[in-house]
Structure 1
Amino acid sequence: MVDEPQEDDHFFVVNGRRWRRTDPGLPEDVAAALRSHLGSARATVGAASRRGDEEAVAAARVRVGIAKHGLGERGPKWWDEPLEARIERAREALGELDA
């Protein structure tokens, strides 16, 4: 018997796969800007993949990773860190993406 992943405050489940939730403690303006960068980077991954431009795919995937780290969806578990550290990480990621 296989246990199905369960939703909770830290994760959500789509088609049986568990995904980490965005850090709910982030200021909305910072989270919205990171989500915008994430969407743009994902679109760039798709477009570059269709063109066969592996260098552009790799660069866009780096941007996806930065945005997801900033949102708390990758990297250290946001629920194990102080809020100030989480906000600082998000702001640093946003600064890197805005540069």
Structure 2
Amino acid sequence: MGSRDSSDATDDERWLVVGGRRWRRTDPALPDDVAARLRSHLGRARAAVRSAKLAGDDAALVAVRHRVSLAKNGLGERGPRWWDDEVAARVQRAHAALSELDRLAPPAGGGAPVRADAVDDVNT
């Protein structure tokens, strides 16, 4: 968790510039385990967006884009600017997003990270 008050955050800590485009950074006050689980959900949802697009499944696309939005809101990358809120409210928002994401798309293995290279038949 970040030790500094969010009101002390500089623009460099709030924004990331890639290719001339400004993107909001992840809230640095989020506990590492919560941020990691939200990033995992985000990655899985983005992969599901690609799959839904390839399948031409508009209903699935709407559902998985909602999951992307939930994860990004939980991380502080969308929605209210994290530096405008108290840390407790930001962490609560992240936990609420995580609970909703776990309900919509439960992680494989009961919440424990699953690695492809831990599977016996991978790359055989």
- TM-score surpassing 0.5? yes
Aligned to 2:50: 46
User: In the TM superposition, what is the alpha-carbon distance from 1:8 to its structure 2 partner?
Assistant: 1.2
Aligned to 1:62: 66
Moved over 6 A (4+): none
1:84 alignment partner in structure 2 = 88
Classify the secondary structure of the residue corresponding to 2:12. Answer: coil
Q: Which structure's CA Rg is the greater one? A: 2
Is 1:35 aligned with 2:44? no
1:74 pairs, out of 57, 75, 78, with 78
Distance in 1, Cα, partners of 2:12 & 2:31: 21
| Percent identity for Structure 1 against Structure 2 | 61
Instruction: Choose the corresponding residue for 1:11, options 6, 15, 18.
Output: 15
- Measured in 2, the distance between the counterparts of 1:9 and 1:28 equals 17
Query: Unaligned 5+ residue runs, structure 2?
Result: 1-10, 104-124
Structure 1: which 5+ runs fail to align?
Answer: 1-6
How much has 1:18 moved relative to structure 2?
A: 0.4
Displacement of 1:32 in angstroms is: 0.3
Residue 73 of structure 2 aligns with an amino acid whose one-letter code is: H
Query: Distance in 2 between the 1:8 and 1:72 partners?
Result: 15
